[in-house]
Structures are given as C-alpha cells and as structure tokens.
Structure 1
Amino acid sequence: MTETVVSSALAPRDHREPNRLWHTFCDMNAVARGPEFVVARGEGVWLWDESGDRYLDGTASLWYCNVGHGRREIADAVYRQMTTLDAYTVYGDFSNAPARDLSERLASHAPVVDPRVILTCGGGESIDTAAKLARRYWAVLGRPERTHLISRTGGYHGLNGFGTSIIGMERFRTGYGRLIEDTSVVAHDSAAALEAEILRVGPERVAAFFAEPVIGAGGVFLPEDDYFTEVARICDKYGVLFVVDSVICGFARMGNWFGIERFGVSPDMIVFAKGVSSGYLPLGGVVVSGRVADPFWNEAGNPFMHGTTYAGHPAGCAAAMANLDILEREDLFTVSLEVERHLDAALRTLSGHPLVAEVRSGMGVMGAVELTGEALDDLGITTAEVFAEARARGVILRPVPRALLVSPPLIITWEQIDHLVSTLAGALDAVAARHGATAVRY
C-alpha cells in the first residue's frame, strides 16, 4: 500500500469569516493567529482534512474511537432511536428502554459484585459522580468525616471539579484558586505509598482511592504485576472505596470490558466513557457495587442528589448498544490483544533512536515514546514539533510534555501500524537533523 504524504497539513486556510470557536487544551492566542486543522471526514482509521489530504488517526481522536470512524450501523441505530424517542430525562422515576438495556448489558460484564449503573455524558462527569457518591456513601453510614480522596501521579481523571482536584498532573491544577479540598496524590507505582498516605491522613478520614488500570493521558505508565492486587488488599484493609477509572482503558482497548480484569480484582466502582460508544455520541457512567448502592437502594431517606440533564440519553445509549454489538461481533476483545503485541513490537524499534529515552507499551492498544532529557532540555526540541512533523507526513499522534502517545482504533492493521511507526521515525529523524542531533539509524 502506498500511503499519502501530506504536504499541506499546516497550510493556512482561506478564512471567509472570523472563527468564533474557542478550542480547548491550547493557547488560544497561538491558535487564533495560525491556521486551523479542520477535520472533514473519517473512515476506519483514516481522517481527511477539508483540502482532501488523508491522515492515519493514531490516537482514535482522544482515545475513544475504538471501532473506527464511519460505522454506518451506529448512525442507523441513532437514527432509528431519534425517530422513536429522541431524548428524555431519567430523573426521578423516569426511564427509557435504551438506558435500561445498556445498564443491564454493562452490569453483566462488569467485574463488580452486584452492580448498578449510573449513566452520564462523559468521563469527567463520571469522575465527579463517583467522587460525590463515595463521600455521600460514608455520610449516610454516619461517617461524614470520610471525605478524603487519594489519586496517583500522572493520573488523568478529567477536568471537572473533582477531576481537576484529584488529577495527578500539577499543570492542570494551577491558576484556578482553591480547588476541592481533602485530596492528595501518591506515587503511581507504589502500593506502599498508598498505604502510607492512608495512615498519614487517618483511615477514618479516607473515602476512596482512584486509579487507572494503565495511566493513559499522563504518559502511558504500566503497573507492576502485583500492584493492583496489593492496592485492593490495602483498600479492603482500611475500608477505603477502590474506584477504577477505566475511561481510557475500557471496551477492548486492554482486551476486555473494563481493563481492570487483567489484574483479577473487583473494585467498588468503575468509571467508564469513551469506548463505550466509540465517541459516536457522548456517553459515560459509573458501575457501582452492591455494597455502595445498598444504603441508597435498600434504605429509605437516602437520596443521591446528583445527576446530569442528558444522562440516560436514549440516542446516546442506542449508539453505545450498536458499538458494543460491533465489539462483540468482530471479537475486538481478542483482536486487540493481537494488535497490542504488534504495536508493542513496532514501537520498540524506536528505542535506539538518538532522541528516544524510553518506549512504554505492551499492555493495551496504547504506547508512549518519551524523548531524552538532552533533546528536550538541551536541544530545545518539543514533542509538539515532532507531532507537527508527523502530521505533515500524514499521521496524527498525541503530544504530552515529554512523550508522543499513540492509541489507534482497534481495527488498525499490521501494515497501518508499521506505517504509523515508520512515519514517527521519519519525523524524529527530521527534527533531529533540524536541531543538529545525530540521527543514527537504529
């Protein structure tokens, strides 16, 4: 297959009217002065800009397009649902069949004892839901002092109120004044650090511990083999609720439904979003164990006064059900494990590149290529520069401060993986040459 080499990826558009869109996660001053990159359509692992140039979507947008772009059956399911019941709230005793069916389906696969499902519109809302529920749970049990929430360095939990407060990356926490209090962050790779922090705060004050199966947006950090077994033991020992953030890791990205199954533990709550609908419509939620649900479901007078307008959205749930049908029908749970192995092998060929300090991959369809301190700190190379070079060559990656991240759709082929990695290698070579680094082949 001959892949398109894009020469116009960063070429200015002919703007016929002022742009009023405030982009997120960016310096808007720079975006407003430069050309926008306008995505016009998608099919499979490919995207096209409005000039007709093609790009391999090496990040499944933001980790979510697990089944690939342009799946007609999902669009058809949404159309059928919207022509029957477009939307309606699930507040109070209101319900709808797609929300009930999706909740039952997710509960049937969740590694949680006696699960219930709260639906939301995305990962950030789901984290806030889980955090508030953890605190409310202890309050209704007569332990309102148990409000403290612990998370991990590098952990990304969205940027809503609680998510910003427990995120493990300081750059997302600064500049906003006082955030939600009674939170702390521990080393992502040390169960002992978690236990030490519980003891420092006081077990009687700790409500919950939040962790991703694999740290995703924070740089793709894989846990040690026994990490989650030990974490589950510690949480159980001190009565701390164990909340797994599977927003990135779920729905076959790690070869199973929620990612955490690879470690053989049963959390108290699982937060999900992204791959549940492959992003075709916004959807998320929290799987809640029977232990946590019990005082709300089986005792009168304990309402959980929390919810979102579009939670249980019938069309969103229909999109998710069609997406899950694809995951199961095409056995992307098994396929993803094969993709994981090939992606890992391909990325590790970059380990010898003079700009590369470390490759992290091999657990899930995701990986990180971290640049060396010399490249970043001495030569002034940025991951954004490598990202731009790769995009100009037709591959989209995700730059974070010290690494380039990949998380392609699960339907990616071996040939497309090799194209992704060889394009990244070429981008690294070009940037190295531009900065006078030795681009020795590896």
Structure 2
Amino acid sequence: MLDKSPALNVPNDLAAFWMPFTANRAFKSAPRLLAGAKDMHYFTTDGRKVIDGAAGMWCCNAGHGRDQIASAIARQAETLDFAPPFQFGIPQAFELASRIAELAPKGLDHVFFCNSGSEAADTALKIALAYHQINGHGDRIRLIGRERGYHGVGFGGTSVGGIVSNRKMFGTLLTGVDHLQSTYNRDKQAFSKGEPEWGAELADELERLVNLHGANTIAAVIVEPMAGSTGVLPTPKGYLKRLREITQKHGILLIFDEVITGFGRLGYAFAAERYGVLPDMITFAKGVTNGAAPMGGVLVRDTIHDAFMTGPANAVELFHGYTYSAHPLACAAGLATLDIYRDEKLFERAKNLEPKFADAVMSLRNEPNVVDIRTVGITAGIDLAPNENGPGDRGFAALRSGFHDHDVMMRIAGDTLALTPPLIVGEDQVGEIIDKVARVIRAVA
C-alpha cells in the first residue's frame, strides 16, 4: 500500500501548462503539486500526506488507488486499447450500459456514452431538440436552465448554466435560452440539514416562463438535484416534484444533471430516486469510473429512445457522438467501479453516514466569519463572509492554507468551502477533516 509520496521529478518550468479554472499566476508562485494518492489521501511532491475532503473533484467516491480498477484498465489496455464507436462496438460498453440502467429509476433504460459531464449536458440538450424535431414539434427550440446552475463548459451547457463568471467572457453563447431563479435564500434556509423546508414554490417560476415564451417553444428544462459547483445548494423539499408536474403538463422534457449527485453522493445511485421523481433524461460522469478514466453519459427514457428508432434499419438514428464514446479503458474502469460500489455497499454507507456527517459539519457554525452551512448526503457548503479584499479572496486563502499548512484538500466556490469526501470516509476521518477545516477558517479570519 502506498503510504507516502512517490519520487517525482518536478519540472523547473511551469509556464507551458495553462491550467483550467485556476488562478495560474498565484498557483505558479506557490504550486500545489500532487504525486500520488491512496484511499482517503493525496501525497504531495514534497512528501506530505493530505486528506482528501473533495473526492478529487466530486468523482473518487470509492477513494483513491483502487487496485481493482487499475488492474481492469491494465488488462483492457493489453487486450483492446481502442475500438471505433461509430458502426462498431465492444461487449463491455453494452454490459456497462445495462448495469447503469439497472441502477437508474425504472424507465430510464438506454445509455448514450460520452467522455465528461460537459459532453453529457450538451448531448442531453441535443437529444431533447432532436426528439421534438422528429415528433413534428420543431418550434420547440428554447432551453431553460437555472441561475447558479452548472452544466459544464460546452456551448450548450454554458448557455443553460447560471454561474455568472463562467458566462461573462463568452458573449451571447446560444440564443433562445432562459433561466429559472436560484433556489437559495439565506434568510429562509440558513444552516439547513438536507433539503430546505422553504422554496418548493420557486418551481412555479417555470409557469411564468411558459407564459412568457409559450410552451410550444420550450424543448427542455435542465437542473441539478443539488447545485454543487456553485457552492452546494440542495433543492427545497417538493421543488423537483413540482417541476416535474409543470414540465409534464406542458410537454417539456426534464433533464436532471447528476454529474455530481450520481453514484452515491446523496445516498442513492441517483438523486432522482431520493426525490421520487422520474426525469426524461439523467446526465452522469465523475463517479461512474471513480475518476480513473474520463467517461460521461446520458440515461434516456424509453419513449425518447424509441422515437428515434424509425425509418430504414440501416440509417443512423442520431447524428451525434464522440471518437472516445464508450472507450474500452473507460468501460473497464466503469465496470470495476460498479463492482466496488455494489460489493462495499457504498451508496447505503453514505446514506447511513449522512446524519453524523451533517452534525459534524454544523459544529463549524460558530467559527469566525461563517455565515451559512448547508449539508445534503455526503456533501457540505460552508459560506464565509468576504474579507476586505473583496469576494473570493477569503475562500482562495482558505484553499491555500488548507493545502500548504493544514494538509487538507477541499473545493472552493468564491468564499464557499465545499466538503465532498470519498464515500469510504470513516467517522474518525470526518472528525479529522472538520478539525482541519476549523483551523483553516481561523487562519483566514
């Protein structure tokens, strides 16, 4: 078992790599370089052991360095490294699709594979538009997202996304897009455990948009069951059921973006099950391979899939896909990952741990500058008040302090600290993470 950082030659020049979603100049002045990982920890290039409070980037639900997954990838690479996904197939892709469909709510029985959450969002949006087109409703071209929502960085996902900083540099993006209001209201929801009691009525905003644009112009609504990247915003009780009622009433497709919430994060295979709502599509990524290989996909209802299966049998039904859709190595990683989730009962484990995790995180509410805490599943958002340097500075200082001074990794969204540890986390490790985060919060007070 790896218990320390492996030897690694650190490059002298860090200039060539333009890092994504990173303050590049600040990073290169004090790099946060990683050399290895095992179970609940990363190992740095200078030999330190850092506890992972973020499951990598919401994706390593079964922890790091799982031998079962690594061996599956290696065997697959030796046997079949690549197969073209257009007009050819591999058995592992069909097996993985079947197993994912078995985990999903009944009726979501078909899987279209891609390589990331961003591609999954764009794929679902394109399927929605195409579905209405082939059903003779080509005027349904409008897409509805939600303020503070995140659906990746493709043109479609960025357009329906509602995080201002992700949109403002890129102009108009897609036209014909509108947004529901955010479900978060600190005055009415502060320090909520699980789904807030207030806010179900915010779903009725969709009726206003229907009246504004006309139902016959709207193709789909896409929302996250828990808005993660914006800072962990659980949806209010009853909100998603109300949204489902309105979309069904007006013939609008409902897409759940479960790139973060899928594969156990909220105690179920998919959050749709937790909330008792059957959407028309579910996007997934991250946890499907435990982060060991890039993969994403869309679960699609039978009624949508079957609408495409018309015309000549030798004709392409959907002109969409990617060179690396259902890549052999990703399929091998996915199958091994699902085995671990099943054998170790990690979804059930997360469900049972949720109350204790919530109590532990809420113990931080009296730390300096903490203005709100939200928890749902094995996920928490801790809002810190901005400092005198403006929004985001205190959060960034906490990220740096956590890594360099307190050996804890977490995510940040502005001044929000997000805790989303691997689902293998134990109660003692939850306590360790909370203790380290408390020290970080005091350090940046």
- The TM-score, its normalising length taken from structure 1, stands at 0.91
Please tell me whether the aligned partners of residues 268 and 351 of structure 2 are also in contact (alpha carbons under 8 angstroms). no
Alignment partner for residue 277 of structure 1, among 283, 289, 299? Answer: 289
**Pair 1:135-2:129 in alignment:** yes
Structure 1 window deviating more from structure 2 (170-179 vs 105-114): it is 105-114
Measured in 1, the distance between the counterparts of 2:396 and 2:20 equals 16
Could you say if the C-alpha distance between residues 173 and 330 of structure 1 is closer, same or farther in structure 2, counting changes exceeding 3 Å? same
Alignment partner for residue 159 of structure 1, among 144, 147, 153? Answer: 153
Measured in 1, the distance between the counterparts of 2:14 and 2:224 equals 40
Aligned to 1:435: none
**Pair 1:90-2:82 in alignment:** no
Match for 2:270: what amino acid? Answer: F
User: How far apart are residue 128 of structure 1 and its match?
Assistant: 0.6
Alignment partner for residue 407 of structure 2, among 394, 411, 414? Answer: 394
Match for 2:36: what amino acid? Answer: R
Aligned to 2:25: 29
Aligned to 2:440: 427
Structure 1: which 5+ runs fail to align?
A: 5-12, 433-442
Could you say if the C-alpha distance between residues 204 and 313 of structure 1 is closer, same or farther in structure 2, counting changes exceeding 3 Å? same
**Pair 1:111-2:105 in alignment:** yes
Measured in 1, the distance between the counterparts of 2:333 and 2:356 equals 29
Measured in 2, the distance between the counterparts of 1:17 and 1:308 equals 34
Please tell me whether the aligned partners of residues 376 and 402 of structure 1 are also in contact (alpha carbons under 8 angstroms). no
**Pair 1:171-2:165 in alignment:** yes
Alignment partner for residue 350 of structure 1, among 340, 352, 364? Answer: 364
Measured in 2, the distance between the counterparts of 1:320 and 1:121 equals 12
Aligned to 1:77: 72
Measured in 2, the distance between the counterparts of 1:372 and 1:346 equals 21
Aligned to 2:196: none
Could you say if the C-alpha distance between residues 399 and 257 of structure 1 is closer, same or farther in structure 2, counting changes exceeding 3 Å? same
Aligned to 1:307: 321
**Pair 1:241-2:253 in alignment:** yes
Please tell me whether the aligned partners of residues 255 and 279 of structure 2 are also in contact (alpha carbons under 8 angstroms). yes
How many aligned residue pairs are there? 419
Please tell me whether the aligned partners of residues 391 and 415 of structure 2 are also in contact (alpha carbons under 8 angstroms). no
User: How far apart are residue 422 of structure 1 and its match?
Assistant: 0.9
Please tell me whether the aligned partners of residues 111 and 300 of structure 2 are also in contact (alpha carbons under 8 angstroms). yes
RMSD between aligned alpha carbons?
A: 2.1
Task: Classify the secondary structure of the residue corresponding to 2:27.
Answer: helix
Measured in 2, the distance between the counterparts of 1:18 and 1:160 equals 27
Alignment partner for residue 329 of structure 1, among 343, 355, 372? Answer: 343
Please tell me whether the aligned partners of residues 112 and 269 of structure 1 are also in contact (alpha carbons under 8 angstroms). no
Measured in 2, the distance between the counterparts of 1:20 and 1:338 equals 45
Q: Counterparts in 2 of 1:207-286, with a 5 A limit?
A: 207-286=219-298
Task: Classify the secondary structure of the residue corresponding to 2:255.
Answer: strand
Match for 1:322: what amino acid? Answer: A
**Pair 1:316-2:311 in alignment:** no
Task: Classify the secondary structure of the residue corresponding to 1:29.
Answer: helix
Match for 1:195: what amino acid? Answer: E
User: How far apart are residue 103 of structure 1 and its match?
Assistant: 0.5
- The TM-score, its normalising length taken from structure 2, stands at 0.90
Could you say if the C-alpha distance between residues 71 and 138 of structure 1 is closer, same or farther in structure 2, counting changes exceeding 3 Å? same
Alignment partner for residue 424 of structure 2, among 398, 411, 427? Answer: 411
Could you say if the C-alpha distance between residues 379 and 326 of structure 1 is closer, same or farther in structure 2, counting changes exceeding 3 Å? closer
Aligned to 1:439: none
Structure 1 window deviating more from structure 2 (60-69 vs 113-122): it is 113-122
Aligned to 1:38: 33
Could you say if the C-alpha distance between residues 97 and 192 of structure 1 is closer, same or farther in structure 2, counting changes exceeding 3 Å? same
Please tell me whether the aligned partners of residues 365 and 408 of structure 1 are also in contact (alpha carbons under 8 angstroms). yes
Task: Classify the secondary structure of the residue corresponding to 1:83.
Answer: helix
Please tell me whether the aligned partners of residues 253 and 365 of structure 1 are also in contact (alpha carbons under 8 angstroms). yes
Match for 2:307: what amino acid? Answer: P
Measured in 2, the distance between the counterparts of 1:23 and 1:419 equals 30
Structure 2: which 5+ runs fail to align?
A: 184-201
Match for 2:118: what amino acid? Answer: G
User: How far apart are residue 378 of structure 1 and its match?
Assistant: 7.6
Measured in 2, the distance between the counterparts of 1:313 and 1:380 equals 38
User: How far apart are residue 15 of structure 1 and its match?
Assistant: 4.6
Could you say if the C-alpha distance between residues 196 and 85 of structure 1 is closer, same or farther in structure 2, counting changes exceeding 3 Å? same
Task: Classify the secondary structure of the residue corresponding to 1:350.
Answer: coil
Aligned to 1:438: none
Please tell me whether the aligned partners of residues 356 and 369 of structure 1 are also in contact (alpha carbons under 8 angstroms). yes
Please tell me whether the aligned partners of residues 211 and 244 of structure 1 are also in contact (alpha carbons under 8 angstroms). yes
Measured in 2, the distance between the counterparts of 1:279 and 1:217 equals 17
User: How far apart are residue 199 of structure 1 and its match?
Assistant: 2.0
- Percent of aligned pairs sharing the same letter: 33
Task: Classify the secondary structure of the residue corresponding to 2:226.
Answer: coil
User: How far apart are residue 46 of structure 1 and its match?
Assistant: 0.3
Measured in 2, the distance between the counterparts of 1:380 and 1:241 equals 36
Match for 1:158: what amino acid? Answer: G
1:259-294 CA-partner distances (Å, limit 9, x unpaired):
111111111100000001111000110011111112
Match for 1:394: what amino acid? Answer: D
Please tell me whether the aligned partners of residues 107 and 301 of structure 2 are also in contact (alpha carbons under 8 angstroms). yes
Aligned to 1:200: 212
Measured in 2, the distance between the counterparts of 1:354 and 1:114 equals 46
Please tell me whether the aligned partners of residues 146 and 182 of structure 2 are also in contact (alpha carbons under 8 angstroms). yes
Measured in 2, the distance between the counterparts of 1:27 and 1:414 equals 33
Please tell me whether the aligned partners of residues 112 and 268 of structure 1 are also in contact (alpha carbons under 8 angstroms). no
User: How far apart are residue 340 of structure 1 and its match?
Assistant: 2.0
Measured in 2, the distance between the counterparts of 1:30 and 1:386 equals 14
Aligned to 1:64: 59
Measured in 2, the distance between the counterparts of 1:107 and 1:14 equals 43
Measured in 2, the distance between the counterparts of 1:306 and 1:203 equals 26
Task: Classify the secondary structure of the residue corresponding to 1:382.
Answer: helix
Measured in 2, the distance between the counterparts of 1:128 and 1:112 equals 24
Match for 1:329: what amino acid? Answer: D
